[in-house]
Amino acid sequence: MPNVERRVLHAVALRVGDDHLRVLHRQQREAQRALKLAHVFPTIDFNTHSAAPGDTLTLTGVNFPTNSVVDVYLTPLLSLNAYTPIAQTTTSDTGTISFALAIPTTLNGVALQGNAFSVLVKTRTTGYYGFNFFYNSRGF
């Protein structure tokens, strides 16, 4: 009797696993459709890689899902602090972004300090992201 019980449990586990795989495959297909090209990842860049709190950078990005809302996060590079949202925009029908990004002087009420800052741009629906960094032109 124990062998029959094991086989039934194994069949149930496979059935749950099959359903889970179907969901994962559907999510993957949707993400690939949104990107139009499989194995292409979003990237972002700035018009300069040296700026300070209070300055404005031009942030550009490519290979994002089309017509999607993206959030822009900032944190001092190599910091243990979590990324803090500082802006949002919507990607074009070709999956690109380009806009003026004002670098805040404070994050969560604390003066923004550090030698370099990391910027993360992430889509809300698919989770695709690109990141880059720039140096603080005023030092620490």
Question: Per-residue DSSP letters for 68-109?
Answer: -EEEEEEEETT-SSPPEEEEEEE--TTS-EEEEEEPPSEETT
Same domain, 15 and 67: no
Query: What phi-psi label fits residue 46: left (phi over 0), alpha (psi between -120 and 50 degrees) or beta?
Result: beta
Spatial contact of 133 and 77, defined as CB atoms under 8 Å apart: yes
92 & 59 share domain: yes
Are 60 and 94 in a shared domain? yes
Q: Are residues 113 and 52 in the same domain?
A: yes
Burial of 61 (0-12, 13-18, 19+ CB in 10 A): buried
Q: Do 100 and 116 belong together in one domain?
A: yes
Q: Are residues 96 and 127 in the same domain?
A: yes
- State the residue range of the domain holding 74: 43-136
Number of domains into which the chain is organized: 2
User: What are 61's two structure tokens?
Assistant: 């990005």
User: Could you give the C-alpha distances from 99 to 36, 58, 88, 96, in angstroms and in order?
Assistant: 23, 6, 10, 10
In a structure prediction context, what are the per-residue pLDDT tens digits for the chain, which is 140 residues long?
A: 444 443 333 333 334 444 444 555 555 556 655 555 555 799 999 999 999 999 999 999 999 999 999 999 998 888 777 788 999 999 999 999 999 999 999 988 888 888 999 999 999 988 899 999 999 988 76
Q: Same structural domain for residues 72 and 115?
A: yes
Closest CA to 139 of 109, 111, 116: 116
Q: Domain of 111: which CATH number? A: 2.60.40.1930
